[in-house]
Chain A
Amino acid sequence: MPIRITMPQLSPTMETGTLARWMVREGDGVSSGDILAEIETDKATMEVESVDEGRVGRLLVAEGTENVPVNQTIALLLEEGEDEGALDAVAQGEGSEPPGTADPAPARPRAEPPSRRAASPLARSMARQAGLSLEDIAGSGPGGRIIRRDIEAALERAPAPPVSGAAFEEVRITGMRRVIAERLQEAKRTIPHFYLSLDCEIDRLLDARRDLNNGGHRISVNDFVIRALALALRDVPDANAKWAGDVIHRYASVDLAVAVAVDGGLVTPVIRDAASRGLAAVSLEMRDLAERARQGRLAPEEYRGGSFSLSNLGMYGIREFDAVINPPQAGILAVGAGYPRPVARDGALAVATLMSCTLSADHRVIDGAVGAKLLGAFRTYIESPLSLLI
């Protein structure tokens, strides 16, 4: 009896996955632990390992197939002594499997069920041509049927369409891009953001870093920032919290999600209990997480569940920016590049390296004074770098 290889559930909420790549071909021998395929979920690309030994009998789902339901059979493995004849029976038997595993053919992306809004055929085709969604249009016909005059009214309200004929290329949406879009849209729609900015002098920090690195370390400015933010959040626990509908959850530890740019988007690996980790440990862990994030090889538990976020665009020369909160968290710190800038010191003009930082805060959880306290604590740590070494 051939062995079924099914679409694995790589996280508790995963319902479907994209079969990104087959690492074996039909006829290949496999032993336990061999990589069979790469599965792309919303944030990571994961490998499917073989548990059994045998020969790849049939690949049932084509490479690049999106939305393959969890537990759907994606391949059949022949055990020793079995021949191809055994495959057909199993492939056909797939029809009697529970829903979700019923389709032995390459799964196609499931079409959305057609809209059941009543609309005249003319209204439908007018809306299609104008790119209008019938969902957004009220129907004035019998029983709420959408008719021509409703589309015409909607077109009058709608802004002028973009210049027709403008060329564009259609770019396929990855699972990651979809999650980014959904999460950030949700954030901007539901979280009342407000923003606080201040500048930190980082000359002493840069000196300390140079000394440390001369001693053989590879500490980045970002590592200092992670450490300083973690300590500041420990000092101001009111900011290390989330809005939970009718209560506020104040987190017991500082789990800092650090945005890492990757091909086609970004991920936020989490440094757990960052406030109790030393600078060297933070640095090593961050480097490992960032590298695996860029390779798409983070496990889901490594990028889920942070309590606060950090986004640093200093390495791109950005002076300052406002970040969008990563729900369900209540805050994110946006850090810019350090630039030499004129400052007034004791009534005289001097030059200092300033790093602008902007806190985006969820006003339901963090009030202005709490946010200011957090930023103030953060600056104190940044400007006295020795305190970060304790």
Chain B
Amino acid sequence: MAAVTVRQALRDAMAEEMRADERVFLIGEEVAEYQGAYKVSQGLLEEFGTARIIDTPITEHGFAGLAIGAAMAGLRPITEFMTFNFALQAMDQIINSAAKTLYMSGGQVSCPIVFRGPNGAAARVAAQHSQDLASWFAHVPGLKVVAPFSAGDAKGLLKSAIRDPNPVIFLENEILYGATSDVPDGDFALPLGEAGVERSGGDVTVVAYSIMVAKALEAASSLAREGIEADVINLRTIRPLDTRTILESVSRTGRLVIVEEGWSFAGIGAEVAAAVIAEGFDLLDAPPRRVSAADAPLPYAANLEAMALPRPDDIAAAVRDVCYTGL
């Protein structure tokens, strides 16, 4: 066990998988010479050379399509988007080529590819560069969607994503790149589709992913001082959704709060709530509550930006609500 940053954990995952499988390569803007816009690919060019660490022009639609073709032809590309905001340029390739070809070819052509990069808000990069696109991708059958929180998540999930035979959207978070946590030694992989329990409470189930897990844990600490103990579930994989872990927790707590950085409409919170209502209706003592971004483009002003994104206080307020503490 060693304490490493999320950034290092991601690099280690890619390096280990590239050493283990020569079909794996990294492609994207600034991934080689500059070693990544956020320094995630540090040292990879030196170790694996220009054939496997490939800089591209600023042309997401082009290099995404190129990588998808390489995957269909038998390679295992890791495609880095400098941020997922730029993946909007490549949406047709991701949805119509990567996600659907296995189905449309009757199972003959698979597309084992990872699209990775930072997703969601960073700090004051404004409306066009601050989007949590998790629900966009999770909407599409044929894609798996992964969102790590800790360094362990980052390494274990990225290794599984690279090994997975399907296209995987791997949503990182810029603010978390520098966060440090313990990562088990050796060839450590976390299975896709399994959530983690970050904190065990019993009064309320709080479901979150990516950086919202940190906000949820912060809220849980302050709630504990009020005598409310929260289960905090780190989804890790958004699709396929681990409803079993969520339902197990709700069966003990009877209350559900879902936290997402994205907008609430047709969001991940709606999906989790619907799954719990459908399969665990009789478990619920209160209507599920969602905590999400304000239903507006993210403001540039620092004070407004802070108010528009879910804060620990917002989560705590939602928890008090489902616990009926105000009554």
Binding site for B on A (CB under 8 A): 120-125, 140-142, 147-149
Of the listed stretches B9-17, B157-165, B276-284, chain A binds: B276-284
User: Chain A residues near B285 (CB, 8 Å)?
Assistant: 120-123, 147-148
| Complex Cα–Cα for A141 and B324 (A) | 7
Beyond A120-B285, A147-B324: 8 further Cβ-contacts under 8 Å?
Answer: A120-B254, A121-B285, A122-B285, A123-B285, A140-B324, A147-B285, A148-B285, A149-B324
Nearest A residue to B327, CB-CB: A140
8 shortest interchain CB distances as A-B pairs: A125-B282, A122-B285, A148-B285, A120-B285, A122-B254, A121-B281, A121-B282, A121-B284
Nearest A residue to B277, CB-CB: A121
B175 CB–A CB distance under 8 Å: no
B254 and A148 within 8 A (CB): yes
| Complex Cα–Cα for A147 and B254 (A) | 10
User: Chain B residues near A121 (CB, 8 Å)?
Assistant: 281-285
B122 CB–A CB distance under 8 Å: no
Nearest B residue to A129, CB-CB: B282
User: Chain A residues near B254 (CB, 8 Å)?
Assistant: 120, 122, 148
Q: How many residues of B contact A (CB 8 A)?
A: 9
Q: Which of A120, A125, A140 contacts B286 (CB 8 A)?
A: A120
**How distant is B19 from chain A, measured CB to nearest CB, in Å?**
51
| Complex Cα–Cα for A88 and B299 (A) | 70
Binding site for A on B (CB under 8 A): 254, 281-286, 324, 327
Q: Helix, strand, loop or mixed for chain A's interface?
A: helix
A141 and B282 within 8 A (CB): no
**How distant is A114 from chain B, measured CB to nearest CB, in Å?**
15
| Complex Cα–Cα for A121 and B284 (A) | 6
A122 and B324 within 8 A (CB): no
**How distant is B324 from chain A, measured CB to nearest CB, in Å?**
6
Q: List 8 A-B contacts (CB under 8 A).
A: A120-B284, A122-B283, A124-B282, A140-B327, A141-B324, A141-B327, A142-B324, A149-B324
| Complex Cα–Cα for A189 and B222 (A) | 54
**How distant is A167 from chain B, measured CB to nearest CB, in Å?**
27
Interface centre among B283, B284, B285, B327 (most CB of A within 10 A): B285
**How distant is A213 from chain B, measured CB to nearest CB, in Å?**
69
Nearest A residue to B284, CB-CB: A121
| Complex Cα–Cα for A124 and B254 (A) | 12
User: Chain A residues near B286 (CB, 8 Å)?
Assistant: 120, 141, 147
| Complex Cα–Cα for A357 and B283 (A) | 58
**How distant is B282 from chain A, measured CB to nearest CB, in Å?**
4
**How distant is A130 from chain B, measured CB to nearest CB, in Å?**
14
B284 and A142 within 8 A (CB): no
User: Chain B residues near A124 (CB, 8 Å)?
Assistant: 282
**How distant is B257 from chain A, measured CB to nearest CB, in Å?**
15
**How distant is B43 from chain A, measured CB to nearest CB, in Å?**
53
User: Chain B residues near A123 (CB, 8 Å)?
Assistant: 285
| Complex Cα–Cα for A122 and B282 (A) | 5
**How distant is B247 from chain A, measured CB to nearest CB, in Å?**
13
Nearest A residue to B286, CB-CB: A120
Nearest B residue to A128, CB-CB: B282
User: Chain A residues near B282 (CB, 8 Å)?
Assistant: 121-122, 124-125
User: Chain B residues near A149 (CB, 8 Å)?
Assistant: 324
| Complex Cα–Cα for A187 and B65 (A) | 85
| Complex Cα–Cα for A120 and B322 (A) | 11
Nearest A residue to B280, CB-CB: A121
User: Chain A residues near B324 (CB, 8 Å)?
Assistant: 140-142, 147, 149
User: Chain B residues near A141 (CB, 8 Å)?
Assistant: 286, 324, 327
| Complex Cα–Cα for A140 and B282 (A) | 19
Nearest A residue to B251, CB-CB: A122
| Complex Cα–Cα for A140 and B286 (A) | 12
Nearest A residue to B254, CB-CB: A122
User: Chain B residues near A142 (CB, 8 Å)?
Assistant: 324, 327
Interface centre among A122, A123, A140, A141 (most CB of B within 10 A): A122
User: Chain B residues near A122 (CB, 8 Å)?
Assistant: 254, 282-285
| Complex Cα–Cα for A123 and B281 (A) | 11
| Complex Cα–Cα for A122 and B324 (A) | 14
